[in-house]
Amino acid sequence: MEYKNGVAVRVQYVALKRTTGLTDLTLKTYNPSGTLVDTTLLTEVSDGLYNVNFTPNVVGQWRIEIASVANGDAIQKAYDVVATLISDVQASVTALDAKVDVLDDKADAIDGKVTVVDGKVDAVDAKIDIIDANVDSVKSTVEASAVEVTAIKSKTDNLPANTATELSDIKNTLSAIDGQINIGGYIL
């Protein structure tokens, strides 16, 4: 088992023969370099069960010795002390996964909005196509009218200058052409 640097480690010890009332049961704590850093008496919490805490202050393998001369207790144990516990990393990964899920949801929402925008762009493109068709229709009408105007002009050039009736017919034809030309009626 691993323990986190800077966090108290609780040591529980059951005395030989569950002996109670031990007053010389001590914990010696050694840091990873093997240096004795503390000697502490254990406190009895129940019939023959003793507790003590130590707080490692450096990463590495810590060693403890518990001993009682009066009772003959003598035991050692090693504690692996790390900067970060796997459970802390797992919690961080879980938190990151949750954040990634939120980002995925936001990306999906953006994709949905892009789809809506694409639909609106397609609708605008369709309206532009209609406008282009209307412009082409107007252009064809104007070109056809120009041909008619040219034909009329050639007729008027050949008319005698004092033929009022023929001039009236030309005027009526031009009015009819004006009625066929319909520029406008669309939005750009």
Q: What angle do CA 88, 51, 11 make, to 5 degrees?
A: 35
Residue 167 has pLDDT above 80, yes or no: no
What is the average pLDDT score of the chain? 87
Residue 179 has pLDDT above 90, yes or no: no
pLDDT of residue 161: 63
Residue 160: band (very low, low, confident or very high) from pLDDT cuts 50, 70, 90: low
pLDDT of residue 54: 96
For residues 40 and 46, the answer to whether their CB atoms sit within 8 Å is no
Phi, psi dihedrals of residue 170, rounded to the nearest 5°: -65, -40
pLDDT digits (tens, 9 = 90+) for 68-127: 999 999 999 999 999 987 877 787 788 888 888 888 888 888 988 888 888 888 888 888
Percent of the chain at pLDDT > 70 equals: 90
Residue 149: band (very low, low, confident or very high) from pLDDT cuts 50, 70, 90: confident
pLDDT of residue 42: 97
Please name every residue paired with 53 in a beta bridge, in sequence order, or none if there are none. Answer: 10
Q: What angle do CA 64, 67, 73 make, to 5 degrees?
A: 125
**What is the residue type of 3?**
Y
d(CA 83, CA 99): 24
Let me know if 64 is exposed, middle or buried by CB neighbors in 10 A (0-12, 13-18, 19+). buried
pTM: 0.50
pLDDT of residue 159: 58
